[in-house]
Structure 1
Amino acid sequence: MELLPRGEYAPSLSYLNTASHGLLPARAAARLRAALAETQEGRLDPRANAAALEAVRAGYAELAEISPERVALGSGVAVHAALIAAALPPGSEVLCPEDEYTSLVTPFARRPGIRLREVPLAELAGAVDGATALVAFSAVQSLDGRTADLPAVRAAARRYGARTLLDTSQALGWLPMSAGDFDFTVCAGYKWLLCPRGTSFLTVPEDGGGLVPLHAGLTAADASRSGPYGPVAELAPGARRFDESPALLPYLAAVESLGLVAELGRPAIRAHDMALADRFRAGLARLGLAAVPGDSPIVSVPGAAGAEARLAAAGVRVAARGGGLRAAFHVYNTEADVDRALDALGDARQPSDGLASRSA
């Protein structure tokens, strides 16, 4: 059974690197090309553009299972995290996993007066204590695909009165979750949500969570009470006051990308992605290769980063991360892609690849 509508994707290689960047669906690429032409020819419609931004906000809210009034738009996870870091009182402790993605944790590490404490992912829930102001962590680790124990971390944070910041960049679209279960969430749209780079999302509590709209511009204003000149007289209600000025062209394409994700549905996407990842894990075991234990479409083989170039030569795009070989399976991938990668790994068993010594 085909998961995708016919003609939506036609990759020129076996692309197993969604954890780095997803592929644009045909409908999003077409909208982007049309927007470029409109920009070149002077036909951009500001009212239509504003409506598109709100369509993206609503589409994301539906996927994240939260109200649109709690969603802010931006261009990158680090900017959202910096807004949260700026709101923390001096002396606050932020707890995070070791090897967490840089964009999530660096704003806290660079904020004067904030103490960043790192612990192994498996120990995260147990490490929350009375000194913890915020727990910042990813639902799924970019490095190797390990998943966090979301209920345990959430419960521990509530027990001690700490807030939670969940990065859903490697999870939303395939993993069952609700942004409303956490105080703040951030998400880069260009991975599993298939949007162009330059799209990102922040969700906040109904009361704003104590955030200050430090980068408020015209898009964060209440249009009925503020004009385009002078300081904003009245900020928009809800999370829109925390909007960055969105990169217009990526957001026009994002309308189409999020529409496709919603059309396919999270249960079908999860079943498809996990079936391919399970097939890959089983094939790795037959080759005598041990993957990082996990339950996600991201599969990492420790010590095998050297095989990345050999797979690329065979037409298979993966990534090398932390000395491991990382493959990530999504909607445009097939069983043929899995088997092509396994065949290439079987042919690449040389000491320089970090594979030969692991072979049975």
Structure 2
Amino acid sequence: METTETFESLVRTEFAPVGTFLNTASNGLLPTRAVTALYDAALLRAQGQPLTALWEDVEACRAAYARLAGVPVERVALGASVAAHGGVLAASLPSGAEVLTAEDDFASVPNPFHVRGDLKVRAVPVERLAESVRPGTALVAVSAAQSADGRVADLPALREAARTHGARTYVDFSQAAGWLPMDAGEWDFTASVAYKWLLGPHGVAFLVVPEDFGGLDPLLAGWVAGERPWDSCYGPVTELAHSARRFDLSPALSCYPALRRSLELIEELGVPAIHAHDTALADRYRAGLAALGHEALPAPGSAIVSVPGLGSRQPELGRAGIEVSDRAGNLRASFHLYNTEADVDHLLDALSG
């Protein structure tokens, strides 16, 4: 774990002041090293240079995410969106299978199961998810942290309930990967986008599958899903990759050099240190809200704080240089490694005025 001094100096080096940006739950800021890599990748295309280095970045990102997720790299597939990964998972279920979801979860999680049309999709409050698993539940699908209000699912309880009833599990870490320590090996399937807390560009999403692939068929497989991709360009792929790479989609190559540098920064800082930093700021904000007579929605231990009834103030805060979100009428602030106590106090001062 980095010392506080090293943590702060690294952050100061990588992020120029941009006002009060408290909106990582929508999209994270790109560190300087990622911006430089993105520019260099664009130059390769502009100058007609070989793109070999970009393919190396793809595999470096796969390996870095595997380390963050705590799984072997062979279990990590690359794509473009959580919804696409969820669609492959939904397609693997038999007709009539029950899928248990959290009420009002982000649409990318439940929607692939709804559009099947022949699955029994049941939604309950996220706090009741574990107790709602029952015999016959085929899959439980939930975000580790809820987008609208930051509530963190009771993942240990959910894991035990699923094991008790023989249900499989699918956890979306899009609002958690990068600040909340995760062990993807505890779940059958996990996914995450890269453009939020992982500080990458849009266009990359990770999928972690079991070693035996969990019954998934690579329905979206193209040439990159072959065991020897460059020998799989024409005609049907005769030999799929022996790893989770069989579920890869053709990568948005220019994204990966930048993401590689962002993942390197997260590893240098350490997720435990980022978690401590982010949640301390969120707690400071909650305390300040209470002093102003506002009550945040309960989300203990989360880096995301939402206040009901204040979402309408988002435009005026934006004009004041404070970037937050209006989500379902809630004023949502999200705190990450580049934020400071001064950012928290700036938002609180604006809300008190």
Structure 2 counterpart of 1:256, one-letter code: R
Give the match for residue 288 of structure 2. 283
CA–CA distance in structure 1, aligned partners of residues 337 and 54 of structure 2: 28
Give the match for residue 38 of structure 1. 44
CA–CA distance in structure 2, aligned partners of residues 95 and 44 of structure 1: 47
Deviation, 1:8, is 0.5
CA–CA distance in structure 2, aligned partners of residues 31 and 256 of structure 1: 8
- What do residues 123-152 of structure 1 show as CA deviations (whole Å, max 9, x unaligned)? 110110112100000111011000100011
CA–CA distance in structure 2, aligned partners of residues 329 and 151 of structure 1: 24
Query: Is the aligned partner of 1:327 residue 2:333?
Result: yes
CA–CA distance in structure 2, aligned partners of residues 4 and 75 of structure 1: 32
Give the match for residue 169 of structure 1. 174
Residues 310 and 344 in structure 1, CA contact (< 8 A), matched pair in contact too: no
Deviation, 1:225, is 8.6
Query: Is the aligned partner of 1:153 residue 2:128?
Result: no
Give the match for residue 82 of structure 2. 77
CA–CA distance in structure 1, aligned partners of residues 9 and 282 of structure 2: 18
Deviation, 1:307, is 1.2
Structure 1 counterpart of 2:18, one-letter code: S
Instruction: Please list every run of at least 4 consecutive aligned residues from structure 1 whose deviation after the TM superposition is greater than 3 angstroms.
Output: 224-227
Give the match for residue 32 of structure 2. 26
- What do residues 292-311 of structure 1 show as CA deviations (whole Å, max 9, x unaligned)? 11221100001111111121
Structure 1 counterpart of 2:39, one-letter code: R
CA–CA distance in structure 2, aligned partners of residues 224 and 19 of structure 1: 35
CA–CA distance in structure 2, aligned partners of residues 53 and 225 of structure 1: 15
Deviation, 1:41, is 1.0
- Alignment length, in residue pairs? 346
Residues 3 and 264 in structure 1, CA contact (< 8 A), matched pair in contact too: no
CA–CA distance in structure 1, aligned partners of residues 315 and 207 of structure 2: 36
- State the SS of the aligned residue for 2:122: strand
Query: Is the aligned partner of 1:244 residue 2:249?
Result: yes
Structure 1 counterpart of 2:173, one-letter code: T
- State the SS of the aligned residue for 1:276: helix
Residues 16 and 316 in structure 1, CA contact (< 8 A), matched pair in contact too: yes
- What do residues 250-276 of structure 1 show as CA deviations (whole Å, max 9, x unaligned)? 122111111111111011101110111
- State the SS of the aligned residue for 1:103: coil
Residues 35 and 44 in structure 1, CA contact (< 8 A), matched pair in contact too: no
Identity %: 55
TM-score (structure 1 length as normaliser): 0.94
Deviation, 1:175, is 1.2
Give the match for residue 58 of structure 2. 53
Query: Is the aligned partner of 1:341 residue 2:347?
Result: yes
CA–CA distance in structure 2, aligned partners of residues 183 and 297 of structure 1: 25
Q: Which runs of 5+ in 2 are unaligned?
A: none
Query: Is the aligned partner of 1:17 residue 2:23?
Result: yes
Residues 97 and 119 in structure 2, CA contact (< 8 A), matched pair in contact too: yes
Query: Is the aligned partner of 1:102 residue 2:110?
Result: no
Residues 226 and 233 in structure 1, CA contact (< 8 A), matched pair in contact too: no
Residues 189 and 208 in structure 2, CA contact (< 8 A), matched pair in contact too: yes
CA–CA distance in structure 1, aligned partners of residues 291 and 278 of structure 2: 20
Give the match for residue 350 of structure 1. none
Deviation, 1:44, is 3.5
- What do residues 2-52 of structure 1 show as CA deviations (whole Å, max 9, x unaligned)? 53514300132100000010011110111001111111110132x322221
